[in-house]
Amino acid sequence: MKIVVYGAGVMAQYVKESVINSGNEFVGLIDPLGNGDFKNLKENDVDFDAIIDFSHFSLLEDVLEAGINKKVPVLIATTGHSEAQIKEIEEASKQIPIIKATNTSVGVNIVNEIVAFATKLLKDFDIEIVEKHHNRKIDAPSGTANTLLEIVKENLDSNGKDYRTVYGREGHSKRAEKEIGVHAIRGGNIVGEHTVIYAKNDEIIEIKHEALSRKMFSDGAVRAAEFLFGKKAGLYTMKDVLGL
């Protein structure tokens, strides 16, 4: 399978390596700023079978247009998309197979399933989500933390509609009932760490995932692209990739 990668940053380089190591053919990096192999696909006649996007949410239209024009699957691994952009992705999935993943790690997606199960059993516990990333990460909370928040809410009574989300804490008021705390930490070269904390009375349960290298994300991305190859148009998930 011939794969092009949108982006020319650190993650894109990891994906390039994972594509090559997987036995697939790496076609090139697409970067409008000129740091990749191509600035765009409109001015270059490039043959490819799939797109992996690790660029920036502002390039979504270019990514989707390239996928639709070539009728190839697209894995979108960028985060920070607006609601309008999410709708664009949904519309594009009517024409080509797409995965929109906030995290392509196998382990993180397994953790998502564990959190869903744990939340159902621990509804009366205080729940807090803490994520840590390097000091260059732009969006906060991370897309993975937001996904964990959605999963927690989905598994609470009334889909969490009675719960209030608190982002960070300051002031002099105690924690109220039916709150879900979400906290973002930025520093150094932290690859990524996500923890869901359940606390009640004299006990604490933590479900944690720590990334030691970005390679786990790039390997998962290639696995997702391979899954999409040959699929019918539609919006798929990493759960589909992993058979969860």
- Active-site residue set: 133, 137
Q: Which two tokens stand for residue 101?
A: 């993943």
Local structure of residue 140 (DSSP, 8 states): S
Distance CA 157, CA 124 (A): 10
**Look-up: residue for tokens 């709708």?**
87
Report whether 29 contacts 54 (CB < 8 A).
no
Q: Which two tokens stand for residue 235?
A: 């919006």
Which of 101, 103, 100, 105 has its CA nearest to residue 87? Answer: 100
Distance CA 169, CA 56 (A): 29
Counting beta carbons within 10 angstroms of the beta carbon of residue 132, is it exposed (0 to 12), middle (13 to 18) or buried (19 or more)?
buried
Distance CA 182, CA 196 (A): 9
Residue type, 133: H
Distance CA 76, CA 100 (A): 5
Distance CA 182, CA 151 (A): 13
